[in-house]
A and B are shown apart, each in its own frame.
Chain A
Amino acid sequence: MIVGEQKPIKEIMESVAPYKRVLILGCGTCVKTCFAGGEDEVEVLASALRLAFKTKKQRSIEIEELTIERQCENEFIQEAAAGIGRNDVVLSLACGAGVQAMAERFPAAPVLPGVNTTFIGIQDRPGIFSERCSGCGDCGLARFGGICPVTRCSKKLLNGPCGGSQNGKCEVDPSIDCAWHLIIERLTELGQLDNLKTYIPPKNWQTSTSGGPRKLVREDQII
């Protein structure tokens, strides 16, 4: 899923300051799962903003709350149309894709981000999320025992670990598992350590962000 984290109240207050009526728009998919922008977070943020504006003795603020299933998909976006019409600004708690989808669909309404989108990852255990994939566009997981060095090695090394790996931890921070340690462990278990003897040539980053914004076309789905 896409993992994100709500922005600090102070930053949100500054961005909504010019507006009177604010629609806080949650998204019921990824950001809900990581406690950044689902229904519950919309409710809490609305309450916190009301309190904050009152405390600072600034003018009052009118807040409407709404959460739709997904802000990144047209069929759900439409549900927000009426609410957007009633307000001066949309404070979207979706990921960056959701925020942009809203902005595109409703060109007349200012759309502000309320969440910092951080990574594509998973929930390790309740409350702890970690990154798994950088969307490089050319997945090499087959070779690495299902563990991604592009994302999980701090140096994106593809031909083996650096000299800083110790006790299974990355040199960058002892709280980070060394991806290469995990890869070697896993491949040993699978009896595929020989995979690592193969020299891996420089990665082609064109399928990643180096090729400019990416687009995917599925001819069979185009009407």
Chain B
Amino acid sequence: MSNDDMTIKPLSKLHEILLNGEFAVTGECGPPRGANREVIAKKAGLLKGFIDAVNVTDNQTAIVRMSSIAGAVHLIEAGLEPVMQMVVRDRNRIALQSDILGAYSMGIRNILCLSGDHQSFGSQPDALNVFDIDSLNLVRTVKDMRETGKDMSGFELDIAPAMFIGAAANPFADPFEYRVLRLAKKIDAGVDFIQTQCIYNMARFKQWIKMAREEGLTEKVYILGGVTPLKSAGMARYMNNKVAGMDIPDEIIKRMGSVPKEDAIEEGMKICLETIAELKELDGVSGVHIMAIEWEEKVGEIVKRAGLKK
């Protein structure tokens, strides 16, 4: 990032860490399918001290869960900084803006703007989807609130939310050439940081970063590379085939299968650590986003073994 960023007042702790040029570490926390705040408290306990901020998913895979706003507030109370995920699938522009105002009033400072998994994957495929605006429109909305103090209608807000704005990028989705153009468009719309889809295909990721660098994009946005430790060859195969936009090369699947079953978790861990080591060295990458959903106890080990936090 350019030097004049140093004079910028950080919008959140995550922003501050990135401004300081530290290699940022974010994690992920899926709210429970129920109203039990203890679930969040427990996950917070496992993550605390290892990461700089935690994403709170918004009805991930279109399954009804505790709202990301509430989850984020519980994390704040537990002493962690949340990144509130917000999808445009379920709320129209009125509800989205209202929730952004509410979230900011509760102390939420980071937002990740997403399209959201289509509801046909979820627990209620019969629901009406909204998609009133798209994720880029959402980015621009949050940015405009911060820069102009106005909502989408142009109304002057008495206190306007000033959030640190993130978006997702999938360097592995098709069509590949277009992915960099898309990143540029997100940056133009107002994105401050990017968290990528899980990286297993390092060659393709490097090519993407190289293209982004050539376009000068890595100067304009913080990119956090996504990682998820694999548990088994079966999981790798499943993710590759079933999870939309996931790219796990054959070598990785073979490598997971080449070790005895009881060593698979350790092998997955090694792959994850190798990926993080490469990311740390890669020009244009500002941090890592560790997605170990329902496996939060692994995060501390990853951070320690990767030498990420002092």
* Closest residue of B by beta carbon distance from A171: B244
B181 and A155 contact, CB distance less than 8 A: no
Residue B170 interfacial (CB < 8 Å): yes
B244 and A166 contact, CB distance less than 8 A: yes
B137 and A163 contact, CB distance less than 8 A: no
Contact residue range for chain A? Answer: 20 to 34
C-beta contact mask, B162-196 vs A, less than 8 Å → 1, else 0? Answer: 00000011100111001001101100110000000
A184 and B117 contact, CB distance less than 8 A: no
A159 and B184 contact, CB distance less than 8 A: no
Cβ contacts under 8 Å, A159 to chain B: 134-137, 185, 189
* Closest residue of B by beta carbon distance from A159: B136
* Closest residue of B by beta carbon distance from A157: B134
B175 and A164 contact, CB distance less than 8 A: no
Interface-lining segment among A13-21, A76-84, A197-205: A197-205
CA distance A188 to B182 in the complex (A): 15
CA distance A157 to B131 in the complex (A): 8
A171 and B245 contact, CB distance less than 8 A: yes
B174 and A168 contact, CB distance less than 8 A: yes
Cβ contacts under 8 Å, A120 to chain B: none
Residue A7 interfacial (CB < 8 Å): no
Q: Contacts A171-B117, A171-B118; is A163 near B136 (CB within 8 Å)?
A: no
Residue B6 interfacial (CB < 8 Å): no
CA distance A73 to B186 in the complex (A): 48
CA distance A184 to B120 in the complex (A): 25
Cβ contacts under 8 Å, A193 to chain B: 178, 181
A161 and B173 contact, CB distance less than 8 A: yes
Residue with the highest number of chain B CB atoms closer than 10 Å, among A154, A162, A181, A203:
A162
A202 and B185 contact, CB distance less than 8 A: no
Q: Contacts A155-B89, A157-B131; is A199 near B175 (CB within 8 Å)?
A: no
For the complex formed, measure the closest distance between the CB of B178 and the CB atoms of chain A, giving whole angstroms: 5
Residue B48 interfacial (CB < 8 Å): no
Q: Contacts A159-B136, A161-B182; is A202 near B152 (CB within 8 Å)?
A: yes
CA distance A165 to B197 in the complex (A): 13
A205 and B89 contact, CB distance less than 8 A: no
Cβ contacts under 8 Å, B169 to chain A: 163
Q: Choose from A173, A181, A184, A197 the contact partner of B185 (Cβ within 8 Å).
A: A197
Residue with the highest number of chain A CB atoms closer than 10 Å, among B89, B137, B178:
B178
For the complex formed, measure the closest distance between the CB of B78 and the CB atoms of chain A, giving whole angstroms: 30
A155 and B140 contact, CB distance less than 8 A: no
Residue A172 interfacial (CB < 8 Å): yes
CA distance A161 to B136 in the complex (A): 11
For the complex formed, measure the closest distance between the CB of B33 and the CB atoms of chain A, giving whole angstroms: 22
Cβ contacts under 8 Å, A171 to chain B: 117-118, 244-245
CA distance A27 to B116 in the complex (A): 41
Residue A158 interfacial (CB < 8 Å): yes
Cβ contacts under 8 Å, B185 to chain A: 159-160, 196-197, 199
B174 and A167 contact, CB distance less than 8 A: yes
Cβ contacts under 8 Å, B116 to chain A: 155
Cβ contacts under 8 Å, A160 to chain B: 136, 178, 181-182, 185
Residue B129 interfacial (CB < 8 Å): yes
Which residues 95-113 of A have a CB within 8 angstroms of B? none
A155 and B118 contact, CB distance less than 8 A: yes
CA distance A166 to B197 in the complex (A): 13
Q: A171-B245, A196-B181 are in contact. List 18 more A-B contacts (CB 8 A).
A: A155-B89, A155-B118, A157-B134, A161-B173, A162-B115, A163-B197, A163-B244, A164-B117, A166-B173, A166-B244, A166-B245, A167-B174, A168-B174, A184-B175, A185-B175, A196-B178, A202-B152, A203-B133
Q: Which residues of chain B have a CB within 8 Å of any CB of chain A?
A: 88-89, 93, 115-118, 120, 129, 131-137, 140-141, 152, 168-170, 173-175, 178, 181-182, 184-185, 188-189, 197, 244-245
Q: What are the 10 tightest A-B residue pairs by CB atom distance, in nearest-first order?
A: A164-B244, A163-B170, A171-B244, A159-B136, A156-B131, A202-B133, A163-B245, A162-B115, A157-B134, A202-B137
Mind listing 27 A-B residue pairs with CB under 8 Å?
A155-B118, A155-B129, A157-B115, A159-B137, A160-B178, A160-B182, A161-B173, A161-B182, A162-B115, A162-B135, A163-B197, A163-B244, A164-B244, A165-B175, A166-B173, A167-B174, A171-B117, A171-B118, A171-B244, A193-B181, A196-B185, A197-B185, A199-B189, A202-B93, A202-B132, A202-B141, A205-B132
